[in-house]
């Protein structure tokens, strides 16, 4: 009633109070492919948002009016606090510059307020590069089991050359549980934005801890993928990535899940998707086939791992997988191929080490490094002859 009276006063007096808006988290890149990219950020108030795009280079952003991209639904521009703007029609392996804007909307009166943006006056535009399956060499890094330890995320990042890193993979359990949006961002995502996520695409394999807490049901809203699911595939350079979601580790009926878990059925759904994905031309012809999954389907007698073992390994066996990257155990373990079970190695990364991967046409090297930057292991794989 109070808002209504103030609004009525404003309308009658011809005086409008402009609604304020601030960008609270992000922007970060998601769903970057060869022809598209999605920019995600949040605002403290309802807003309609857009991304302005310019080619790479030194030409001023103000050289001409730049195309604006909006989030739309059924023909309307979306008024929201979680902004996900997909830019389509991009060229593979091409760098672009971008800026973001959010214009406040007073939803009760459908009036516009202030505009918030990336720092368009003082900061250089942000940049990203689309994926390119024809790129001869790529580099990427893998984090897992950070569990909100921002200091370790920073320390591990200290030795990463983000300028030459094509993409970052979060292989699960970046957080303990997800209670609300603020806690979710402050646990690791705000720091990731500061370090790399505004300019380097992040690909997320959900861990079992990201399934926990009230806000976990909204997790996929913040990390859109090219399949619309938390399991998906993509290719960059010579590497084809299969990103799988292991779900929870205990039986669905466990007291810890409060009767809300249904991961057996979810893993069966993925099994069907995986059967089709393994038949795809891009998977079959890729020089390296890398599986990313948080829970190792090995070395455990817990139900989640056993269900993965039963549903995924028979499909992946004989599919030419180069290596599978896992986390979850909080210790390093390298499991060599086992005849009849999995004909590829499983690399389980520790909770406080990082994987740095470089793949060329002839060789893929994986370096495992600790928080001081010291190399602990180095593994080399060779491409599948086509």
What residues line the site for Fe ion (CB under 5 A)? 173, 207-208, 328
Q: Tell me the closest approach of the beta carbon of residue 281 to Fe ion, in angstroms.
A: 33
Cβ proximity to Fe ion, 173 vs 190, nearer residue: 173
Residue number with the shortest CB distance to Fe ion? 328
Of 108 and 299, which has the nearer Cβ to Fe ion?
299
| Coil/strand/helix, residue 34 | coil
Cβ contacts of 224 within 8 Å, gap of 6 or more: 30, 31, 38, 40, 84
How far apart (Å, rounded) are the C-alpha atoms in residues 88 and 38?
9
108, burial (CB in 10 Å: exposed 0-12, middle 13-18, buried 19+): exposed
Sign of CA dihedral 286, 239, 127, 169: positive
**For residue 100, what are its two tokens?**
């973001």
Token pair recorded at residue 141: 């890094």
Residue number with CB closer to Fe ion (26 or 327): 327
Which residue lies nearer to Fe ion by CB, 30 or 208?
A: 208
Q: Give min distance, CB of 192 to Fe ion, in A.
A: 18
Minimum Å gap between C-beta 349 and Fe ion is 12
Provide the pairing of β-strand 138-143 with 167-170. parallel
Phi/psi at 22 (5° precision): -130, 145
Nearer to Fe ion, 33 or 327 (CB): 327
Smallest separation (angstroms) from Fe ion to the CB of 207: 5
In the complex, the smallest distance separating the C-beta of residue 341 from Fe ion, rounded to whole angstroms, is: 22
Phi-psi region at 340: left, alpha or beta (left = phi > 0; alpha = psi -120 to 50): left
Two structure tokens written together for 375: 């190399």
CB of 162 to Fe ion, least distance (A): 26
Rounded CA gap, 193 and 100, in Å? Answer: 14
Nearer residue to Fe ion within complex by CB, 148 or 207: 207
Nearest-approach distance from CB 147 to Fe ion, in angstroms: 9
Q: Which is nearer to Fe ion, 19 or 208 (CB)?
A: 208
Shortest CA distance to 308 belongs to which of 383, 225, 247? 247
Nearest Cα residue to 334 out of 320, 350, 316: 350
Shortest Å distance, C-beta 324 to Fe ion: 15
**Residue that the structure tokens 């028979």 belong to:** 314
Q: Which is nearer to Fe ion, 39 or 308 (CB)?
A: 308
Query: What is the rounded CA–CA span in Å between residue 173 and residue 270?
Result: 20
188 preceded by cis ω (within 30°)?
Answer: no
């Amino acid at each position: 009633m109070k808002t209504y009276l103030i609004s009525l006063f404003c309308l009658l007096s011809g005086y409008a109070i402009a609604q304020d808006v601030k960008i609270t988290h992000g922007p970060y890149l998601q769903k970057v492919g060869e022809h598209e990219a999605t920019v995600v950020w949040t605002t403290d108030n309802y807003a309609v948002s857009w991304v302005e795009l310019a080619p790479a280079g030194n030409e001023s952003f103000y050289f001409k009016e730049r195309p604006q991209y909006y989030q739309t639904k059924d023909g309307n521009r979306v008024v929201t606090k979680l902004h996900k703007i997909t830019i389509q029609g991009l060229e593979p392996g091409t760098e672009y510059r971008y800026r973001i804007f959010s214009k406040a909307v007073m939803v009760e009166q459908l009036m516009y307020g202030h505009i918030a943006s990336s720092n368009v006056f003082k900061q250089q535009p942000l940049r990203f590069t689309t994926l390119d399956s024809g790129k001869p060499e790529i580099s990427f890094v893998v984090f897992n089991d950070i569990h909100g330890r921002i200091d370790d995320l920073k320390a591990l990042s200290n030795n990463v050359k983000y300028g030459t890193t094509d993409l970052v993979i979060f292989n699960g359990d970046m957080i303990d549980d997800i209670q609300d949006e603020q806690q979710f961002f402050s646990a690791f995502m705000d720091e990731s934005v500061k370090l790399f996520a505004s300019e380097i695409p992040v690909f997320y394999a959900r861990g079992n801890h990201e399934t926990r807490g009230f806000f976990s049901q909204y997790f996929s809203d913040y990390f859109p993928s090219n399949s619309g699911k938390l399991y998906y595939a993509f290719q960059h350079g010579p590497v084809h990535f299969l990103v799988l979601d292991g779900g929870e580790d205990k039986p669905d009926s466990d007291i810890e899940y409060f009767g809300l878990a249904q991961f057996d059925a979810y893993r069966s759904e993925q099994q069907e998707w995986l059967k089709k994905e393994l038949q795809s031309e891009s998977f079959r012809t890729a020089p390296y086939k890398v599986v990313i999954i948080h829970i190792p389907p090995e070395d455990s007698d817990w139900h989640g791992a056993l269900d993965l073992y039963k549903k995924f390994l028979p499909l992946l066996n004989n599919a030419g997988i180069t290596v599978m990257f896992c986390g979850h155990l909080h210790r390093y373990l390298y499991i060599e191929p086992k005849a009849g079970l999995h004909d590829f190695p499983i690399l389980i990364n520790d909770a406080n080490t990082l994987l740095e991967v470089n793949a060329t046409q002839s060789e893929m090297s994986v370096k495992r490094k600790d928080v001081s930057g010291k190399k602990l292991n180095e593994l080399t794989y060779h491409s599948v002859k086509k």
